[in-house]
Amino acid sequence: MAASVSVNVNGLANTGDWQDRYFHVKDFLRNKCRILVIGAANLALTGFKDIHVIDMDTIDISNLNRQFLFRVDPRQLVAAEYIMKRVPGVKIQDKDDNYYLQFNLARRWINATLVNLVDPENPESLKPLIDGGTEGFKGQARVILPTITSCYECSLDMLNKPTTFPICTIANTPRLPEHCIEWASVLEWPRIHGEKKLDTDDPEHITWLYTVAAARAKEFNIEGVTYSLTHGVVKSIIPAIASTNAIIAALLQYLNNYFMLIGTEGIYSYTFEHEKRKDCPVCGGESLEISISHETTMLTERQTIQIKKPSLATSAKHIYLQGPPQLEQATRPNLEKKVSELVEEGDPVIVTASTLPFDLSLVIKYT
C-alpha cells in the first residue's frame, strides 16, 4: 500500500509526523481493522484483511459489462473465493440467511445503528460509514462520521424518485417510447394473457412486449421503441459503466463529505459539505416538523421521509396499523380522512415501519 510519508533509517517517520505512524497504520489495516462491506467489493488488494461481505445478488446477463468476477454463483461467494486465493492471509467471512434477516433497508439501518453506537466517552465507538453508488454516467460518494457529519437520513431528499408514468397518460396520450412499453406490459399483457405472469427474463415475453409496444408507437408516431429499451424499461435496468464505477471507488476515502459526478453531457463533478439537518430523526434527535393543509388526507407522499408500509399512532389513538389483519382493516378507513380530523396541531404522530430502524416522530403544523 503506497504512503506519502517518508521513513528515516531508524524506522521512524520524519519530523512533523508522530512516531511509527506509517508502521502503525500498516499494522492496523492488515491485522486489526475489520470491514463490513454491503455489496461485494475488492478491498483486500488495498491492505485490509478481515472483511465481512454482505451481497446476496446474482448477476443479470444484461449487466455483465461491470462484473469482473462473474460466475453462475452469487457474487459474494465468487469474490470471497477469488480474493482469498489472490491475497494470502486475507479472511472474508460470508453469513447465512439468518444473518441477513436481521436487516431491513441496509443503508438506513446501518446509518442509524452507527449513530446509536457512538459513545462520547469511547472514541473507538465511532465507526465511519463510506457510501457510494453509480447510475450510468452519474455517481455519488460520501464519507459519514456518525454524530459529526450529516448522516444518510439527512440527505434523503436528494434521492431521485423512481420513474413512474400515470396510467391515464400511457392509456390515452402516450408521448414517449417508454409510455408505449409501459402500456404493453401494464395494460395489454394482463388483458391478453390474463393471470399468466410476465417473465422479464423470458426472451419470448420481451419480444411480445416489443412487438406490441412498437405497433402502439407507430400508431401515435412515436420513434425510439427498441428491443433493448423494452427490456430495460420492464426490468428497470440502469446501465453500468465501468469507468464511472472506477471514479467513484477511487474517491470514496478522500471526501469532505459529498461528491457528485455527472457524465451524461461532458463531465461535471462537485464536492461539498452536506450539512446536518437539525430535525434529522437519526442524528438530530428532534421531531420532524411538517406543514400541511387542513385538507390534506392521510394518503400523502413526502420525499424527506420515504417510508413504505408505515403504521401511525398518536399518544391517544391508533391512526393506521399494518397488522394484524383485523386491526389493519379496522383502521383502513382513516386513510381516506383528512389529517386534521385525526391529529391536533402540535400533537406528535409516531411512525413505525419494518424498513425504518427507529420510531419517527412527526409534529403536524397546519397552514
Q: Any idea which residues carry the catalytic annotation?
A: 168
Q: How many residues can be counted in the chain?
A: 367
What is the bridge-based pairing of β-strands 288-292 and 360-366?
parallel
Q: Please list the alpha-helical segments (H only) found in 58-202.
A: 75-86, 97-100, 106-117, 167-172, 177-182, 189-193
Rounded distance between C-alpha atoms, residue 233 and residue 162, angstroms? 12
CB distance 176 to 230 below 8 Å: no
For 16, phi and psi rounded to 5 degrees? Answer: 100, -10
53: three-class secondary structure by DSSP:
strand
Label residue 36 exposed, middle or buried (CB < 10 Å: 0-12, 13-18, 19+). Answer: exposed
- d(CA 149, CA 144) in angstroms, rounded, equals 6
Q: What is the CA radius of gyration of the chain?
A: 25
Q: Are 221 and 177 in contact (CB under 8 A)?
A: no
Q: Which residues, at least 6 apart from 172, have a Cβ–Cβ distance to it below 8 Å?
A: none
Check residue 364 and report its DSSP letter: E
Classify burial at 45, counting beta carbons within 10 Å of its beta carbon; exposed 0-12, middle 13-18, buried 19 or more.
exposed
How many Å apart are CA 21 and CA 273, to the nearest integer?
28
Using an 8 Å Cβ cutoff, are 131 and 38 in contact? no
279 grid coordinates: 430535525
Contact by Cβ (8 Å): 353, 310: yes
8 Å CB contact between 227 and 177 = no
Distance of CA 11 to the CA centre of its chain: 44
